[in-house]
Amino acid sequence: MPLQTIDKGAIVRWLTACADSIAANREYLTKLDAAIGDGDHGVNMDRGFKAVVVKLSAGAEMDIPQLMKSAGMTLISTVGGASGPLYGTFFLQAAQVCAGKAELTLADWIAMLKAAMNGIMARGKASAGDKTMLDALAPAVQALEDAAAQVHSTAGALALSACAAKAGMSATEPLVARKGRASYLGERSAGHLDPGAASMYLLLKAAAETLASR
């Protein structure tokens, strides 16, 4: 049986679910950022994803790459802070990889996330273990690649990647931040989850819950 593909409706449901999840966790993200940053991450992300949803309703005729590009541009112009350009880059890079596609295979999705990850690394110059959003994203990409090699179902592979993102997020707790505002704290940044890793997990969890369901 061929693996289930991801259609435009699924991408719309995913982006909507991202906005819902960020809104529901706005205070939580803000609290994480207040501990090791400046307490604006939840507010910034919520403002951005609300704007993404507004664009969704206005763009009924957009295809998947256009939806991804629109989300990226909207986040860049509404989020600000460090996460605006980083999440903007995430969606813009993913959009480039799926150019011309009306439906996505699991392989396409993996290629998109990988491009998104490389984009974030190029923009923020962080590497694994620096206590950033990358620490949730990189294990998720790795888990997807491993799952795909074993011909899992699309839904199964997405679920595994969300699990890996969660583990990656949790693993940021003992780390000392080396990038972003949290790095000013030095050793004092240890003992707290990274807010960007937490928001990244929410987006990947939303993907597992929406992309492979019809």
Partner 1 sequence: MKKLINRAEDVVRESLEGFAAAHADLIRVNFEPAYVARRDAPVNGKVGVVSGGGSGHEPLHSGYVGMGMLDAACPGSIFSSPTPDQMLEASKAVDGGAGILHIIKNYTGDQMNFEMAAELGRAEGLEIDSAVIDDDVAVTDSLYTAGRRGVGLTVLAEKITGAAAEERRSLKEVANICRQVNSWGRSMGMALTSCTVPHIGHPMFDLPENEMEIGIGIHGEPGRKRLPIQSADEITAMLMEPVIQDLPYRAGDRVLLFVNGMGGTPLSELYIVYRQALSIAKGHRLNVERSFVGSYITSLEMAGCSITLLKLDDTLIRLWDAPVKTPALRWGI
Question: Which of Mg ion, partner 1, ligand ATP, none does residue 76 bind to, with CB < 5 to 8 Å depending on kind?
Answer: partner 1
Q: How far is the CB of 37 from Mg ion (least distance, A)?
A: 4
Q: Residue 90's closest CA among 105, 108, 104, 76?
A: 76
Residue 8 DSSP one-character state: H
| Given 156, 176, 190, 209, the residue binding partner 1 (CB under 8 A) | 176
CA angle centred on 101, ends 99 and 107, rounded to 5°: 95
The Cα-based distances of 95 to 185, 196, 214 in angstroms read 35, 21, 22
Give the one residue of 9, 24, 27, 38 binding ligand ATP; rule: CB under 6 A. 38
Find the Cα–Cα–Cα–Cα dihedral 120, 125, 130, 133, rounded to 10°: -10
Structure tokens at 15: 């982006």
Whether residue 112 contacts residue 71, with contact meaning beta carbons closer than 8 Å, is answered with no
**Residue of 179, 192, 211, 212 interacting with ligand ATP (CB under 6 A):** 179
89 to 128: interface string for ligand ATP, x by CB under 6 A = -------------------------------x---xxx--
Nearer to partner 1, 120 or 211 (CB): 120
Cβ proximity to ligand ATP: between 65 and 180 the closer is: 180
**Residue numbers 147-176 binding ligand ATP by CB under 6 A:** none
Instruction: Please tell me whether residue 184 binds partner 1 under the rule CB under 8 A.
Output: yes
For residues 39 and 156, which CB has a smaller minimum distance to ligand ATP in the complex? Answer: 39
Token readout for 19 is 């906005």
3-state SS, residue 104:
strand
SS3 of residue 21 by DSSP: helix
Least distance from Mg ion to the Cβ atom of residue 33, Å:
5
Q: What token pair was written down for 212?
A: 């492979």
| Largest CA-CA distance found in the chain, in angstroms, rounded | 52
Q: Is 194 in the site for Mg ion (CB under 5 A)?
A: no
Residue 78 touching ligand ATP (CB under 6 A):
no
Question: Which residues contact partner 1 by CB under 8 A?
Answer: 30, 34, 38-40, 43-44, 76-82, 84-86, 88, 123-124, 176, 178-181, 183-186, 188
